[in-house]
Amino acid sequence: NAEVLQNELKENIRLRKEKENLHNYLQTIVESLPDKIFEISPEGIISFVNRETIGKGGTGLRAIKGKHFTEFVAPEHKEFVLKKWEDAKKGIFRPYELQVTARDGTRRDLLITPRPVKGTNRYLLVQRDITELKELESKYCESKHLTALGQLSAGIAHEIRNPLSSIKMSLKILQKRLNPKGNDLKRFEIAQREVEHLEGLVNDVLVFAKPSEPKKKPSNIINILEQALSMVEQPLLDKGIKVEKIFDKGIGSVDVDPMMLGRAFINIFQNSIDAMDQGGVLTITVRRSSDDEVSYVVIEVKDNGCGIAESDLQYLFNPFFTRKRYGTGLGLSQVQRIIDQHKGKIEILSEEGKGTRFIVRLPLGNAEGIKATAT
Ligand SMILES: Nc1ncnc2c1ncn2[C@@H]1O[C@H](COP(=O)(O)OP(=O)(O)OP(=O)(O)O)[C@@H](O)[C@H]1O
Ligand SMILES: [Mg+2]
């Protein structure tokens, strides 16, 4: 009989050990999940959380267990989350998204999925961090959107181009034949100017839709800037704008497409000129800078014009975004593309009513390229 008892005891110990193992096994799986899982009583009290969220102040598992889950919801989200909680209690378990501020101050997107715990009256809240996913999604949408916009506008521009050149030709021939004078001549000239304006627009759109590859060669950045400045000489004179140049002459050469880069700076200059009135000062600075391992040439274009509203800043580089009556809004999207093609960076600092600074950083070519043309 004692033997039977002993066997039973052994069996009991074995079973208990097995149960413990199984418990540990399941526990490691739950702990290893990327999602955070909370188990909540019907009253909203947290009874289990899969990963200890140990904060700096030592808030651990014990600080979370036994508390009402809304204690961990930011005040601005409380009403919304409580509404979802009520839904869950009615048997509606739809996932929902929540944007929160993490401890380090970053914004995180969370996906919360409520579930009933089978065979009990308790609930699970599964919390997944979907910040990266959301970013990818929005980038993807944006690029798809831009491609479609480019194709559409290129199609239209292409259709307009040919009729435009025949209008231009006809105008020229007619003017020669009729030899108009006075007001009639003025009308001819207006028509011609408008046709040229349209041609420019159509070309901009085509360049935007089908960008060409830069033909890079060692170039002198200061020459490029001077060249670009000479292209806006007339409007600078018209508005009496002063130009200040602060050029570090020791920059050497940069591996870029001089024509393309020139076009980018003409656009930036033109924008600054548009933003300024009499008394305007355009300051152009060229200097060298380096971070970690990369050296840059930094070109800063500063104006004391009208500045840019903070709410506009996010749209500046969008094609067709313009605040000007006759603007096409393609200038800065072209600039950004050109700087991207040169692996550079562009940054805008602006204050409404005070002025704007465009800061362009271009990586300097290899040392050989610099030496070869430094003279
Ligand atoms: N230096 C600046 N100062 C104030 N606003 C600016 C400046 N640069 C750009 N902007 C604002 O950004 C908008 C977009 O500029 P962008 O060059 O892309 O188009 P645009 O100048 O309006 O037209 P486009 O260049 O195609 O003729 C402008 O309409 C203007 O509101
Ligand atoms: Mg412009």
State pLDDT tens for residues 290-339: 877 788 999 999 999 999 999 999 999 988 899 998 888 889 988 998 99
- How far from 111 is each of 36, 64, 131, 173, 274, CA to CA, in Å? 11, 20, 9, 68, 46
Expressed in angstroms and rounded, the spacing between residue 265 Cα and the centre of ligand 1 is 13
Residues of the chain with CATH 3.30.450.20: 33-129
Confidence of residue 44 (pLDDT cuts 50, 70, 90): very high
- Best mutation site among 197, 317, 324, 335 for ligand 1, i.e. most ligand atoms within 8 A of its Cβ? 324
pLDDT for 206: 82
Fold of 33-129: Beta-Lactamase (3.30.450)
CATH topology of domain 217-373: Heat Shock Protein 90 (3.30.565)
Q: Please state, rounded to an integer, the average pLDDT across all residues of the chain.
A: 88
Task: Give the Å distance between the CA of 301 and the centre of ligand 1.
Answer: 14
Residue type, 76: E
**So what's the pLDDT on residue 58?**
44
Q: Where are the alpha helices (DSSP H) in the chain?
A: 2-32, 61-64, 75-89, 131-178, 182-209, 221-231, 233-238, 258-275, 310-313, 331-341, 367-373
Tokens at 277, concatenated: 């009135």
* Predicted confidence (pLDDT) at residue 121 exceeds the cutoff of 70: yes
Contacts of residue 374, Cβ cutoff 8 Å, sequence gap at least 6: 252, 253
Shortest-distance atom of ligand 1 to CA 321:
14
- CB distance 257 to ligand 1 below 6 Å: no
Confidence of residue 211 (pLDDT cuts 50, 70, 90): confident
CB-facing half-sphere around the CA of 14: CA atoms within 13 A? 6
Pocket of ligand 1 contains residue 328 by CB under 6 Å? yes
Using a 6 Å cutoff on CB, does residue 330 contact ligand 1? Answer: yes
Rounded to 10°, the helix 131-178/182-209 angle is 150
Pick the closest to residue 264 from 256, 276, 254 (CA basis).
256
CATH topology of domain 134-209: Helix Hairpins (1.10.287)
For the Cβ of 271 lying below 6 angstroms from any atom of ligand 1, the answer is: yes
Q: Which two tokens stand for residue 181?
A: 């004078």
**What angle (nearest 5°) sits at the alpha carbon of residue 320, between those of residues 318 and 323?**
95
Where in the sequence of the chain do the CATH 3.30.565.10 domains occur? Answer: 217-373
pLDDT band at residue 375 using 50, 70 and 90 as cut-offs: very low
Distance (Å) from CA 268 to ligand 2 centroid: 7
Alpha carbon distance 353, 359 (integer Å) = 19
Instruction: Kindly report, as residue ranges, where domains of CATH 1.10.287.130 are found in the chain.
Output: 134-209
Report, as an integer, the average pLDDT of 80-107. Answer: 89
Amino acid 106: pLDDT: 82
CB of 336 within 8 A of CB of 346? Answer: yes
How wide is the angle at C-alpha 247 spanned by C-alphas 243 and 250, nearest 5°?
Answer: 165
Instruction: Quote the CA–CA distance of 245 and 284 in Å, as a whole number.
Output: 5
User: Is residue 274 pLDDT above 60, yes or no?
Assistant: yes
